Amino acid sequence: MKTIVWTVDDLPNLSTSYPHIAQAANILRENEVVAFPTETVYGLGANAFSDEAVRKIFEAKGRPSDNPLIVHIASQDQLDEFVEDIPEYAEELIKNFWPGPLTLVLQKKGDRLSDLVTAGLDTVGVRMPDHPIALALLKEANVPVAAPSANRSGKPSPTQASHVYYDLQGRISGIIDGGATGVGVESTVIDCTTKIPTILRPGGVTKEQMEAIVGEVSVDQALVEEGHAPKSPGMKYTHYAPNAPVIVVDGSHHFIQQQIDQFEKEGKKVGVITTEEAKNDFRATKVLSCGNRANLQTVAAQLYDVLRQFDQEDVDLIISESFPQAGVGAAIMNRLLKAAGNQVIVEK
């Protein structure tokens, strides 16, 4: 299959009649899959009402079939087609954070959604992305679109069209290239089927932001302590992993350098993930900055790109600085620890 790449560079003038958007929407309606930018990461979309279409997502990504997909919509009216029993706090979250990087897990209604989307669960994750291309495409396609991140399963999520092309070229019908995504980590997933909303995956909307709107917000135990099965099926899989193993080191620059030196002495070529503030402090085979520690949004935006850049470098091991868990730091650390398979060295 030849993968078409459509470049959309005049975002301010975007309309649904833009020929590339119309063509991609047609392909979605024909039950084929296309990748498109959202404000979080690039998504790989398919008609959520069609088994045939959704199956192609799992095939292209090599994604385990028990990991449900998030359904993307362009207008709130579409919710009525496939969810029911929306609690009041969920309405508040929608009012405040849609369009945006927040996925609500709600009670599924009827049987229009493909069972492959929900992996057989009676709930469904839904969000409205805050990106002009995604919204125009969804509106034009006029069906809810199931879309996981547009990477091969297990690899870091794509934040640029070139990442999607690298992973999925020849396996999908097309990619809409809308430049780099903004947020850089995926949406927050929040279970809205419980009395108190529960974060299943930290992401672009923070716990603190939601608490300011709806009061108490809890966090799935599996995110807090090891040994609990996650309520979000996807959270149990290895994810975001570059080719070289990653170790997160939590400590002073001096301590981090000691670890680097130790590994290099053993003959390992070490790559380092650091920040603008510290990039000149480390000596290693390759040092890459993923943003400013003083502004963690910049780290979220670049983290996956830096993880992917290390696949082009000759390193045996990647050591990453650790980040504070507050705000978007919760999502950054969640992804980094997954990339590291929970390998952490802490300075005593």
> What does each C-alpha distance from 30 to 3, 23, 166 come to in angstroms?
16, 11, 24
Query: What are the tokens at 158?
Result: 């794509």
**335 touches 185 (CB < 8 A):** yes
201 near ligand AMP, judged by CB under 6 A: yes
125 near ligand AMP, judged by CB under 6 A: yes
What span, in angstroms and rounded, lies between the C-alpha atoms of 167 and 179?
Answer: 17
Single out the residue of 67, 107, 162, 309 in contact with ligand AMP (rule: CB under 6 A): 67
What span, in angstroms and rounded, lies between the C-alpha atoms of 221 and 227?
Answer: 9
Single out the residue of 121, 213, 219, 247 in contact with ligand AMP (rule: CB under 6 A): 121
Query: What are the tokens at 190?
Result: 């929040």
What span, in angstroms and rounded, lies between the C-alpha atoms of 24 and 192?
Answer: 32
What span, in angstroms and rounded, lies between the C-alpha atoms of 7 and 174?
Answer: 11
235 near ligand AMP, judged by CB under 6 A: yes
Query: What are the tokens at 215?
Result: 């009061």
What span, in angstroms and rounded, lies between the C-alpha atoms of 136 and 86?
Answer: 26
**What minimum distance in Å lies between the beta carbon of 182 and ligand AMP?**
16
For ligand AMP, how many residues bind (rule: CB under 6 A)? 21
Question: With respect to ligand AMP, which residue has the nearer C-beta, 20 or 335?
Answer: 335
265 burial (CB, 10 Å; 0-12 / 13-18 / 19+) is: exposed
**What minimum distance in Å lies between the beta carbon of 5 and ligand AMP?**
22
105 near ligand AMP, judged by CB under 6 A: yes
**What minimum distance in Å lies between the beta carbon of 30 and ligand AMP?**
22
150 binds, among ligand AMP, Mg ion, none (CB under 5 to 8 A by kind): none
40 near Mg ion, judged by CB under 5 A: no
Residues of span 134-173 touching Mg ion by CB under 5 A: 148-149
Residues of span 279-338 touching ligand AMP by CB under 6 A: none
Q: Write out the residues near ligand AMP by the rule CB under 6 A.
A: 67-70, 105, 118, 121, 123-125, 148-149, 186, 189, 200-201, 231-235
Interaction site with Mg ion (CB under 5 A): 148-149
